Amino acid sequence: MTETKRPVNSHKAYHAHVYFDEESKLVAKKLCDESGQLFGLSVGRFHEKLVGPHPCWSCQITFGARDFEKYIAWLEENRQGLTVFVHALTGDDLKDHTEFAYWLGQAVDLNLDFFKKSLVEVLHGHADFD
Ligand code: ZN
């Protein structure tokens, strides 16, 4: 089970990943577009496919501690039942997606193997012995 933690403003920078599917993509698109328009935030691609550790289609929004309170409150008010995965950006991908992972709405299990696999590849690539 994924532990559901509410976002807390204890980091410098964050991602919000809006999760959606075929049925909810218009609501999601509006939420992402307005994040850019109203808050001037940097909005990533609108992925109608699985990317990274995300178990749902997703769109990534980057924001900082300064915008945290207003933006999180706005997301909560406007997400219309969508799940929004919020995580810190500390440079440690695994920690950011476990210890520093927060949810608005229903939490879902992330595909954390994504990071383990990358780590194995990195280690393997740098191994001097076999
Ligand atoms: Zn992210």
Range of the domain at 63: 13-123
Q: What is the spatial distance between Cα 43 and Cα 114, in angstroms, rounded to a whole number?
A: 22
Enter the tokens of residue 49.
């496919």
Average pLDDT over residues 21-38: 98
Q: What is the spatial distance between Cα 65 and Cα 79, in angstroms, rounded to a whole number?
A: 20
> From the CA of 17, how far away is ligand 1's center (Å)?
6
H or E segment at 70?
helix 65-78
Over residues 50-106, the pLDDT tens digits come to 999 999 999 999 999 999 999 999 999 999 999 999 999 999 999 999 999 999 999
> From the CA of 7, how far away is ligand 1's center (Å)?
14
> From the CA of 61, how far away is ligand 1's center (Å)?
8
CATH classification of the domain holding 110: 3.30.70.1240
In a domain, 36, yes or no: yes
Mean pLDDT of the chain: 91
In a domain, 4, yes or no: no
> From the CA of 16, how far away is ligand 1's center (Å)?
7
Q: What is the spatial distance between Cα 127 and Cα 130, in angstroms, rounded to a whole number?
A: 7
How many structural domains does the chain have? 1
> From the CA of 31, how far away is ligand 1's center (Å)?
17
Q: What is the pLDDT of residue 116?
A: 80
In a domain, 115, yes or no: yes
* Cβ atoms 77, 34 nearer than 8 A: no
- pTM here is 0.89
In a domain, 128, yes or no: no
Average pLDDT over residues 1-29: 91
In a domain, 1, yes or no: no
In a domain, 89, yes or no: yes
Other C-beta atoms closer than 10 Å to the C-beta of 74 total 16
